[in-house]
Amino acid sequence: MTSTRRHTFLGAGLPIGAVSEKTELVFPDAADLDRAWELGLFYLKAPGHLDLDSARQFGRGLIDDSSVYRRIPKYGELEGFIALENNQQTKLALRRERWDQHYPAHIAAFGRRLDEIGIAIMREVLRQSRIPEPLWDRASGGYASGGGDAFLNFVHYDTRHPDWGLRPHTDYGFVTILDASAPGLQIEIDGQFEDVPVLQGHLIINFGEALNFITAYSDRAVTAVRHRVLSQRATNPVRHGIVYFANPDLDGMLLQFDTSGSARGSSSVEHFFARLERDLTTYQ
Ligand SMILES: [Fe+2]
């Protein structure tokens, strides 16, 4: 198969979902949902009330060395203004509890809109899994009912370094919501990396390791898709990304339930994430 044909196949084959008026994740038909669950990735029509333009403008402002937002302090390993080792990606990362303190009000509000989208996706995954609904809160470390942890990150790429934009990895949380301004994202399908084109007016959604973990004993496990971002060059259009990560409570536990409601396994979130974070920043 030629690379052109493969790209055509993937571009045409990526399912497109939407969030309904009832704040539920919906697809045109069941085959689209099947494909999304199988790939671990789909496009989501950006809701009309989501002010992407102002959030993108905020993200673009961070590339300026004089931006005050670049001086937000680090909180542990995961939050603050961070340049990843061995990757070009540079990001301002903050978890939900710090959005009001450090982000402008309209960006904190934007993050809460992404919370609504993330919860809708999470609840549909759990509905499909047939894990009993009374257990959804515990199964998701609180996320499905408005708790848990979430990050809202603004990323760009330091083209002075010849590294990967982002090395091949899987995301460690439940669901990732991405708005990317330029191409570069690729996902691995059958051992081959394939471009995920930017589709105007749409977000890119992918599933992560924690979601794979908690659905492992259910009727419908989801795939955590392996992906990477190609090395960005100074001559490329500047690639910005807005990335939202839906996570369990980072101080809590991940629980694996089956469809009868029995707990089949568990891991502390701290341990689970620490292993994956090492994988992301280690030379492979
Ligand atoms: Fe990722």
Summarised one tens digit per residue, pLDDT across range 53-103 is: 999 999 999 988 899 999 999 998 889 998 888 888 889 999 999 999 999
Checking if the pLDDT of 48 tops 60, the result is yes
Checking if the pLDDT of 250 tops 70, the result is yes
Helix runs in the chain, H state only:
3-13, 30-39, 52-61, 99-102, 105-129, 136-139, 209-214, 269-281
Q: What is the mean pLDDT of the chain?
A: 91
Mean pLDDT, residues 170-192: 93
pLDDT band at 10 (very low <50, low <70, confident <90, very high): low
Q: What confidence score (pLDDT) does residue 65 get? A: 86
Q: What confidence score (pLDDT) does residue 5 get? A: 41
pLDDT band at 45 (very low <50, low <70, confident <90, very high): very high
For 19-37, write each residue's pLDDT tens digit.
999 999 999 999 999 999 9
In whole angstroms, how far apart are CA 1 and each of 7, 14, 159, 186, 190? 10, 18, 32, 18, 13
Q: What confidence score (pLDDT) does residue 196 get? A: 94
Q: What confidence score (pLDDT) does residue 280 get? A: 63
Mean pLDDT, residues 215-240: 91
Highest mean pLDDT (candidates 52-56, 180-184, 271-275): 52-56
Mean pLDDT, residues 128-144: 96
Checking if the pLDDT of 230 tops 60, the result is yes
Between the CA of 176 and the centroid of ligand 1 the distance, in Å, is: 8
Which structure tokens are listed for 109?
């509000």
Between the CA of 267 and the centroid of ligand 1 the distance, in Å, is: 21
Which structure tokens are listed for 258?
């089956």
Between the CA of 239 and the centroid of ligand 1 the distance, in Å, is: 15
Between the CA of 169 and the centroid of ligand 1 the distance, in Å, is: 6
Judge contact between 100 and 160, C-beta under 8 A. Answer: no
Between the CA of 87 and the centroid of ligand 1 the distance, in Å, is: 12
Q: What confidence score (pLDDT) does residue 2 get? A: 39
What percentage of residues in the chain have a pLDDT greater than 90? 75
pLDDT band at 282 (very low <50, low <70, confident <90, very high): low
Whole-angstrom distance, CA of residue 156 vs CA of residue 31: 35
Give me the domains of the chain, ranges plus CATH numbers.
50-281 (2.60.120.330)
> Hey, which residues does 183 pair with through a beta bridge?
none
Between the CA of 186 and the centroid of ligand 1 the distance, in Å, is: 10
Whole-angstrom distance, CA of residue 132 vs CA of residue 84: 39
Please tell me the pTM assigned to this model: 0.92
Mean pLDDT, residues 204-228: 96
Q: Which residues of 202-223 are buried (b: 16+ CB within 10 A; e: fewer)?
A: bbbbbbbbbbbbbbebbebbbb
Between the CA of 49 and the centroid of ligand 1 the distance, in Å, is: 25
Between the CA of 168 and the centroid of ligand 1 the distance, in Å, is: 8
Ligand 1 ion local residues (Cβ < 5 A) = 171
